[in-house]
Structure 1
């Protein structure tokens, strides 16, 4: 292990830490001195690096080892595992890859591997895996994210890009200086702002929000959860029914239109298709004017409140923020499109502190003005396989090979998957209707997982390849999403026989005769030097001088200077719409999209629309409560659920579920009681927390508990045992976890589930 005169450092998606090691053992993590609002999440790893959850040897499911590859018939998730040597594991994996490729082709390998993995630039599990698979002919891939798949597909049709506007969301400083009214659909959840992809050095969301509040900005939290916005001197809480955000936005737009409060000049110069949308608002297309009263009936928000908010938005410098969670509902394309249209009607897009923002505090980098530097990533090579699926359609793919579906104007066919390989993620966290996924997961011949702990993914695999954690390997955190670039020191030796993902794949590559193609005869340190040198050149082109490699290693981090000007979304387009057009067919904001209209989708027309969701509080249901399953505050998705910080956030070892006092009283439930959440798809157990900060008719339970099924009930409290697995629409096919109706009952009162 390399000796350094400075203290050891590591970077994670939730912060940078100083690492304390005594006699080769991790003793603790200290908050980075430049972080004034550090996240506690990192401390959760200290007590779980070793112990019963750690995987220390290559492991093979007993049924697979004895019977060979084939559908598992329920064995995945139930069978015991047998330890083997790395030599044997490499031989088995190589042989199975050859068999599948020769018998079925490379498109029979699915390596979506969705997840957050490591913050390191080189030891990034998915990048390593996909590079290796491309060396042997490729794999079926996935597109989009569980975070905001619907927006990833619809917003490019409206603004020409989604990732561009996402990365260029106007800075918090412009909110403080130029905004008067901040309307937050989905709130500004600071707990989500703990994280940022690729590592971060300083948390800024709380400071940015506080600065805006101190500057006198009025905030409106439109959410079923009061906690989705920090209390401030001028904050309000509006509680529409979940999954009705688009209807509320459309009702607001109708008020602007009918009262002449919309900016016709902006609409004429910067948008296309408003007349078609206006006809919809007035009811000329379907006979239903989208008035405040119409919206009130759908949203359960008083019509006077809707009218008053619309007038206030038109009369003040207004920022509309839409949380990423709004896309994770049935027809999740519509809230983002409707929000863009509403902001366009106000005419403030492209001005400092106003317009539209895509998810303030969804991650730490949102609203963080920073320089654009194209840091190098590990080259993955070319994937010759053209087959792909929308990321949230994995169960459909496994259940129905050969079926053809619509996606963004195209028709795609599900391949017949024989081998699934997952590295750096956990589908038994992200996906919906986990009981259905668990059944479909039995269908492939082989499931391989690179994993360091016995979570649900590892327990549902056939071959488990034990990988290291970031503290057991050297890496570099180079991210365009944060100014701090950090050396990630190898603080301790790998636990047991764990190997870096690169070394795992190098061994298999050697067994398949492609080791040189995979490594390019570079060591991991040589790869990191190469990545850093390419990144230094990119930084230099942007006027930033990164230190040389040796200086970077000696000092441990480098802070990229702030840009000279604060970021303002679509400022260049606003200043010169013809000289800096959007990448849409018209070059303008497409309130009506001829392209989408041309697809002929009945569940996603050519303009923003209210389309009744699969299930919601406005429709009769045997399950009367709407369940919100949002991001946890004590972990990143399911990472470190077994760690001390996550465990401390549970009540009696169970995930807390929030419920309004009126709903608890109607069910004769008491605070702290173990309850069962259930519907026709499944159930989970949780500890009841009675709280007035959630609207009646709604419950909230965070995601991230390690899926632990007992029949159709998750004992650990994973809400995705209940959520529906359906695409948002034929356009994006995204996930709809937030469209979910359930019932809650006392666990001990149900003899079928009493312990």
Structure 2
């Protein structure tokens, strides 16, 4: 994204923040690679599927190749459709794969090699009496949890708590009225929300926007309406390990024992100190000295390539997040986009295998 305004006050962009942190830890050169932010953007774009040169892209935005048959339409991978042999895709066969022999070789029970519907581990199809499915859509007035403490959040809260949208018939059955505090609970946890009754909500389904901050009351319930109290950490599949946020069942009822107003967005109490503080004697200072402390941090070539070329599009996962078998599947599409040679790919896989989940 292009810069819109000059930085306000002492605010810094993410790259500058992490560069300064890297300097504190003695890895500034390794982190920046001697590149400015624009040089990193240029490098990333030149290793992407973009069809323009970087300067044209930066001026005009992204364009895709056009097909002769549809001059007024833009089609991704149009060169592949025009000549699949000359312009293969980044798949083992070079083609669009409906069946993946690579995934089949992993023999993962919950991830078949062909697209197939599998019953979720929690859904209305296996709900118990009184349970509803909990969906956690993205809020329109904030970015995940950012801005949850801002004034605009009042549009989607009841007395400071995150709203829960409920079908009118489901609410009537449980004696819940618009504006009531509702207790939503399952075996994982409990959260308190403000009821918003709507005829537009599907029966048997409630909606709690993700991103509310956490504040536990004396009973261990979130007094702010955080959906994270209810959702499961079970992954979508053994291959993707992705979140399964909308695969969630819970009960709800009118809450009759609210302990206090929501305190999640109240700033912490600041106790002024009359004594001078030596930061280097604190845990943070000890950690900085231990990690940075004049010692040059070294990386293997494979680690350098992994963090410098393979993980530019998204936040880098830790190598131990996946087994080497999973990494072999992930890197099938990662390596071509990173533009790595066969020799470099081997180095990255050696680094991943050494540090992967056993």
TM tier relative to shorter chain? 0.5 to 0.7
Alignment CA distance shift 1:612-1:717 (3 Å):
same
User: In the alignment, which of 665, 669, 683 is matched to residue 176 of structure 2?
Assistant: 669
The 3-state SS of whatever aligns with 1:709 is coil
The Cα shift of 1:528 comes to: 4.8
1: distance between equivalents of 2:109 and 2:45?
A: 49
2: distance between equivalents of 1:696 and 1:645?
A: 29
The Cα shift of 1:692 comes to: 1.4
The within-5 A match list for 1:335-414 is none
1:604 partnered with 2:121: no
User: In the alignment, which of 229, 232, 247 is matched to residue 724 of structure 1?
Assistant: 232
2: distance between equivalents of 1:700 and 1:559?
A: 41
1:637 partnered with 2:144: yes
**Alignment length (residue pairs):** 248
Instruction: Provide, for residues 132-160 of structure 1, a one-character-per-residue CA deviation record: whole Å limited to 9, x for no partner.
Output: xxxxxxxxxxxxxxxxxxxxxxxxxxxxx
- Contact 1:544/1:560 (<8 A) preserved: no
Aligned to 2:9: 492
1: distance between equivalents of 2:19 and 2:62?
A: 34
TM-score normalised to structure 1 length? 0.30
2: distance between equivalents of 1:581 and 1:724?
A: 39
The Cα shift of 1:744 comes to: 1.0
The within-5 A match list for 1:220-239 is none
1: distance between equivalents of 2:91 and 2:44?
A: 31
The 3-state SS of whatever aligns with 2:245 is coil
2: distance between equivalents of 1:653 and 1:730?
A: 38
Aligned to 2:60: 560
1: distance between equivalents of 2:47 and 2:61?
A: 15
Alignment CA distance shift 1:729-1:516 (3 Å):
closer
User: In the alignment, which of 190, 199, 217 is matched to residue 683 of structure 1?
Assistant: 190
- Contact 1:623/1:679 (<8 A) preserved: no
Aligned to 2:131: 624
- Contact 2:190/2:229 (<8 A) preserved: yes
Aligned to 1:695: 202
2: distance between equivalents of 1:494 and 1:562?
A: 29
The 3-state SS of whatever aligns with 1:574 is helix
User: In the alignment, which of 52, 55, 62 is matched to residue 542 of structure 1?
Assistant: 52
Instruction: Provide, for residues 324-383 of structure 1, a one-character-per-residue CA deviation record: whole Å limited to 9, x for no partner.
Output: xxxxxxxxxxxxxxxxxxxxxxxxxxxxxxxxxxxxxxxxxxxxxxxxxxxxxxxxxxxx
1:713 partnered with 2:221: yes
TM-score normalised to structure 2 length? 0.59
The 3-state SS of whatever aligns with 1:675 is strand
- Contact 1:625/1:743 (<8 A) preserved: yes
The Cα shift of 1:573 comes to: 3.0
Gaps in structure 1 of 5+ consecutive residues: 1-198, 200-484, 548-557
1: distance between equivalents of 2:246 and 2:55?
A: 45
The within-5 A match list for 1:497-512 is 500-509=17-26
Instruction: Provide, for residues 216-235 of structure 1, a one-character-per-residue CA deviation record: whole Å limited to 9, x for no partner.
Output: xxxxxxxxxxxxxxxxxxxx
1: distance between equivalents of 2:210 and 2:143?
A: 10
Aligned to 2:158: 651
The Cα shift of 1:719 comes to: 0.6
Alignment CA distance shift 1:536-1:585 (3 Å):
closer
Aligned to 1:743: 251
Gaps in structure 2 of 5+ consecutive residues: 67-72, 261-358
Aligned to 1:527: 36
The Cα shift of 1:543 comes to: 4.6
Task: From the two aligned structures, give the one with the greater strand fraction.
Answer: 1
